[in-house]
Amino acid sequence: MTEVHFHFNVPDRLAYACRLLRKALRSGATGVAVCGPEATLSRLDRLLWTFEPQEFIPHVMLRAGETLPTRLSRTPIWLVEQAEQGAHHPVLVHLGEEPAAGFESFSRLIEIVSTEADDRESARRRWKHYAGRGYAIHKHELGASQ
Do 78 and 13 meet the contact criterion of CB atoms below 8 Å apart?
Answer: no
Average of pLDDT values for 109-136?
97
Average of pLDDT values for 13-32?
94
Residue 145 clears pLDDT 70, i.e. is over it: no
pTM of the model: 0.94
Residue 144 clears pLDDT 80, i.e. is over it: no
Homologous superfamily of the 3-141 domain (CATH): DNA polymerase III subunit chi (3.40.50.10110)
From its phi and psi, is residue 24 left (phi > 0), alpha (psi between -120 and 50) or beta? alpha
pLDDT of residue 146: 42
Do 136 and 4 meet the contact criterion of CB atoms below 8 Å apart?
Answer: yes
Domain borders along the chain are 3-141
Query: 84-101: per-residue pLDDT in tens?
Result: 999 899 999 999 999 999
HEC profile of 89-116: CCEEEECCCCCCCCHHHCCEEEEEEECC
SS3 43: helix
pLDDT of residue 140: 96
